[in-house]
Structure 1
Amino acid sequence: MLILFNKPYDVLSQFTDRGTQTGGTPTARPTLSAFIAVPGVYPAGRLDRDSEGLLLLTDDGRLQARIADPKFKMPKTYLVQVEGDVQAAALERLRRGVELNDGLTRPALVERIDPPALWPRDPPVRFRKSVPDCWLRLTIHEGRNRQVRRMTAAVGHPTLRLVRWSIGEWTLDGIEPGTWREATG
């Protein structure tokens, strides 16, 4: 079984929250269990709490490894709203690979796009009249921790909103936030 889930902003990519606040008080952050009541499925990879979009869940350990393991180079495409007006030089740096504190990233496929027709984010991204923003479609073939955010920041354009649109052949097309469907075929 393979589930395609549109993970909302501020939801953890796990079924339980073992986090605690300062002082040892347990947190009560939203998890996958509020949206998916299918026994035996687990996320294939992660999507940060402050990111939205496609999260794949499966009950097949081999498929889970193939999706999550960078050695299989499964492409992951993101729609990224960034601060500033991204110019050709920054795009070229992303295409060549960006030096991060954990090494050089693999080259990314990236292009500027018109603002996509997405659902509103709750809470909305902070709008500042004095600071422009723009959207990118960025595809990577690895999955380091907070990689896309770190890449855009490294080229001078911090990420404001991050939506994973696809993983390999699977996309969010037709899946509303907080809902899921089983993959066919």
Structure 2
Amino acid sequence: MTRLILLNKPFGVLSQFSAGKDESPHPTLSEYVKVPGVYPAGRLDRDSEGLLLLTDDGRLQSRIAEPRHKMPKTYLAQVEGEPDEAAIAALCRGVQLKDGKTAPARVRVIEVPELWDRDPPIRYRKSVPDTWIELTITEGRNRQVRRMTAAVGHPTLRLVRWSVGDWSVEGLAPGEWRELQV
């Protein structure tokens, strides 16, 4: 039977089970998931938080992580400033990055979501407003959402992956996980 674990990866945690040769001072998945034989299906940057899927099935791992399968990934992004219609439209069309133009995304401005507190909290500046957007992509380039929002003039302050395909982080506190039968 295939194992699939949904983990709410906290901010600052590496998306791997060991720190590697450099013995990074950052926590790893091994501090949260004590299940042998499962591996991350894709990555989530150290400074991003939210849904990380782990599985023991190589085919499922490929289906989730490989861009050719175009599995949608939805993020909640707190961005600096207030994106106007032109910025949102640019994200929806796809933006030019150094490694090429991104595929079109689904993007909308949302109300402040009810999320857990981030540790450490983001830097708050009275003089610079911020806005939350929901952004769904089907690619998985390195730091793609952050680079996309920066390209339209609204750097990401906080990034939470909310869902991958039909799987969601809803109901999981940071560091918590649940296993599904697939």
Deviation at 1:56, TM superposition (A): 0.1
Q: Report whether the alignment pairs 1:170 with 2:167.
A: yes
Match of residue 12, structure 2, among 5, 10, 13: 10
TM-score normalised by structure 1 residue count? 0.96
TM-score normalised by structure 2 residue count? 0.97
Moved over 4 A (4+): none
Distance in 2 (alpha carbons) for counterparts of 1:40 and 1:170: 21
Deviation at 1:19, TM superposition (A): 5.6
Cα distance per residue 1:3-29 (max 9 Å; x no partner): 000000000000001263xxxxx4321
| Count of residues paired in the alignment | 180
Distance in 2 (alpha carbons) for counterparts of 1:27 and 1:9: 15
Match of residue 179, structure 2, among 174, 179, 182: 182
Unaligned runs of 5+ in 1: 21-25
Hey, what does 2:139 align to over in structure 1? 142
Hey, what does 1:60 align to over in structure 2? 57
Distance in 2 (alpha carbons) for counterparts of 1:174 and 1:53: 11
Of all paired residues, the percent bearing the same amino acid is 68
Hey, what does 2:101 align to over in structure 1? 104
Q: 3-state SS of the aligned residue for 1:71?
A: helix
Match of residue 124, structure 2, among 121, 124, 127: 127
Distance in 2 (alpha carbons) for counterparts of 1:7 and 1:82: 20
Cα distance per residue 1:73-96 (max 9 Å; x no partner): 000000000000111000000000
Distance in 2 (alpha carbons) for counterparts of 1:127 and 1:18: 34
Distance in 2 (alpha carbons) for counterparts of 1:94 and 1:18: 35
Deviation at 1:145, TM superposition (A): 0.2
Q: RMSD of the TM alignment (CA)?
A: 0.8
Unaligned runs of 5+ in 2: none
